[in-house]
Amino acid sequence: MSEPHEHHALLHVEYDGAPFHGWSRQPGDVPTIEGAILAAFDKLGCDATAISCAGRTDAGVHASAQVVGARYVGPIPPERIAHALNGSLPREIAAVASAPAPAGFDPRGDATSRAYEYRVLCAPEPSALRARYVLHHPRRLDRDVLAAAAAAILGTHDFTAFTPSRTLHSFFDRTVVVSRWVERGDELVYQIRANAFLRHMVRVIIGTMLSIARGERAIDQLHAMLAGAPRSDAAATAPAQGLCFVDVTWSPVDGLPLPPRWVPDREAALRELAHVLPSACAFPPQG
């Protein structure tokens, strides 16, 4: 190992969110993703002065492609820090890869889009092996209504109805460039990509679309919700276990490789990304 130096690393991190109370570190012994990563740095004798992620996930939400920026002082260089961290991280978290990051790069602030998937198991009986990663929904869902609801989400809308009423957000407009349901075996998978997300936004969208597909709400009500309706107009928040953070993109940064789906213009990027999304979360095989 080299002598301690100040480093800025970029890490690709996967995690099973079930045992954790979300990304953000909390007081006391509450287990969080951020807290576990900081503890792993500490065990390595590295002083992590700051870490940030591309998308702060809620309690129980998973990630197959989280991007973490870490500033730390220690003897382990960025290209080796992922391997070193895995020896100290809990088994539900894995640092898949790491590389040096240029000064000033912020995975959250510099992100141009983020993508999630939500998995729904449409079967009469539950799956024990997939229970941590899917929402079991034995009731019939109208697939045509789901498709229409997903199409309504596309574009720029005021998503006030899709985030808790008590919030630190002051701006509720978000631009969604991918919104669709796809069939994957006996699962229905909702895929969504946007420039940014509000807290609980995807899970409230899921709860509302499922309610519409069960015939409990009309599609016209969804259009009204997307015009800045209050939170009370939307349905209950869907459970966390079906949600996975699957992708993030950013604009060119000197000294940092471009993300796989990068295109040269921010607006063009959002248009191009409407046609691509990772095909699956890195979790147990289905069926």
- The residues that are catalytic are 58
Residues 6+ apart with CB under 8 A from 19: 31, 90, 92
Quick one: which of 68, 14, 72 has its CA closest to 43?
72
Q: How far apart are CA 213 and CA 200, in angstroms?
A: 20
Q: Which helix (H) or strand (E) holds 8?
A: strand 5-15
User: Would you give the distance in Å from CA 275 to the centre of its chain?
Assistant: 18
Determine how many CB atoms are found less than 10 A away from the CB of residue 179: 21
**Nearest Cα residue to 95 out of 162, 29, 155, 12:** 12
DSSP-derived secondary structure letter, 260: T
Strand, helix or coil for residue 99 = strand
Q: Hey, CA dihedral for 8, 14, 20, 21, is it positive or negative?
A: positive
* Angle, CA 101 vertex, CA 47 and CA 260 arms, to 5°: 135
- The answer to whether 246 and 216 are in contact (CB under 8 A) is no
DSSP code of 75? S
Which 3-state string (H, E, C) describes 144-179?
HHHHHHHHHHCEEEECHHHCCCCCCCCCCEEEEEEE
CA 88 to chain centre: 24
